[in-house]
Amino acid sequence: MRMTFVSKCLLFSLFMIGSAAFAKESPEVQGNSREAIKAEIDAFIEHHLQDSHDFTLFSYTDDAGEMHHVGFPLPVILWDDGLKIFSSSRLHHGESVAEVDGNYYTLYHSKIYKTNAAGDVTLDDHHHPTNAKPLDFSITKNVFMMLVTALLLLWIFSSLARSYAKHGAVPRGIGRFFEPIVLYIRDDIAIANIGEKKYKRYMPFLLTVFFFIWFLNMFGLTPLGVNVTGNIAVTTALAVLVFLLTNFTGTKDYWKHIFDPLGDGMPWYGKAILYLILVPIEVLGIFIKPFALLIRLYANMTAGHVVLMSLIGLIFIFKSWIGGPLSFGLSFAISMIEVLVALLQAYIFTMLAALYFGFASEEHDHDHGDEPELAHL
């Protein structure tokens, strides 16, 4: 309990720092019209939600009107007729063109495009660049945060594992906080949905995915400005893993449920007609389930970030003694809710993954006429 309080306090203070960092931008927009501020906030939110090639903690504009970004560059890794690795500092946040092995690259809306020495980007009618896009395997901000989270998780849980060896069966330190969560996932998510017999082989995935999502969600609430779990590629990757695990561990009964859902309950000529509709639905269900997972996590986290940042942005639009504290109070309340949502979304993802694994590993010799159709959640 004490741990959660401390982490909340920490989060809150980080949040305050974040707001302060944001506030640094305000003096320079004071003279501008309200519309300009709105546009800037839009752009800021847009930029925040996207991945980026360098880790920017905050940016400010000096008296000379020049933008400064405080942070550190990350390696850019491109596959463009051979591997090209260079530091993202050479792109200067899209302000300059990086020349590598005779090729020119530039950033446009956080994406790397091939360009010429002048850095020209041609746009089509939909304002999409027509320049060639090299395959981008850069260690972006999101990849960097995932690495940090992975190391943090490794450190926390391997120390918990070691503390068992050292202090007998009693967890020490931070493990005291995490052990009940591990047990909760085992007892109320894995065993409850998969069953006593087969839950063990899914445990590592469920635990890893839960803590990975939760930690990244929480990092998303810090002013580091990361939005890893609100990135469609990340949630897709997680959902693809769930999809693969579900279908590769699927038992005979699982596949029978998809391709012969009625079993012996009906003569074949009756089934033939129904199966024209049922089987495609069931097959579609295989894909819809993980798809729902990826969209749910993405949408929830992105929406949270947008709401939170919009509310913070309101402070700069109102710029009054009433509006400011009001939006601050609101954004504080929302960020508290987001702390809950961070946990909740990790829980839901893990819970549903366990549910799907439960369907996949199900084995029954009885007729399943009254089986609850939870599969289509």
Partner 1 sequence: MEKLVNEFSAGLFFWQIILFALLLWLLHKFAWKPILKAVEQREEGIRSALAAAEEAKKEMQNVTADSEKLLQEARAEREAMLKEARDIKDKMVADAKSQAQAEGEKIIAQAQQSIEGEKKAAIADIKAQVAELSVEIAEKVLREQLSNKDKQLKLVDQLVGDIKLR
Contacting positions for partner 1 (CB under 8 A): 50-51, 77, 111, 128, 135-140, 142-143, 146-147, 150, 153-154, 157-158, 160-162, 164-165, 169, 179, 182-183, 186, 200, 203-205, 207-208, 212, 231-234, 236-238, 240-241
Tokens 């969560």 — which residue? 181
Nearer to partner 1, 291 or 318 (CB): 291
CA-based nearest residue to 79, from 145, 132, 144: 132
- Please write down the HEC assignment for all residues of 244-268: HHHHHCCCHHHHHHHHCCCHHHCCH
User: Across the strands, what pairs with 113?
Assistant: 106
Rounded Cα distance between 213 and 369, Å, is 36
Nearer to partner 1, 18 or 175 (CB): 175
Widest Cα–Cα separation across the chain: 82
Nearer to partner 1, 207 or 301 (CB): 207
Which amino acid, 292? A
Rounded Cα distance between 333 and 9, Å, is 14
The token pair that represents 39 in the structure block:
């546009």
Nearer to partner 1, 209 or 352 (CB): 209
Which amino acid, 178? F
Nearer to partner 1, 182 or 262 (CB): 182
Q: What are phi and psi of 96, to 5 degrees?
A: -140, 170
Angle between helices 268-318 and 2-23 (to 10 degrees): 60
Nearer to partner 1, 19 or 50 (CB): 50
In three-state secondary structure terms, 119 is coil
Nearer to partner 1, 14 or 121 (CB): 121
Q: Least distance (Å) from partner 1 to the CB of residue 33? A: 28
CA-based nearest residue to 87, from 103, 98, 77, 75: 75
Rounded Cα distance between 138 and 107, Å, is 13
| DSSP state for residue 123 in the 8-state scheme | B
In three-state secondary structure terms, 86 is strand
Q: Least distance (Å) from partner 1 to the CB of residue 360? A: 18
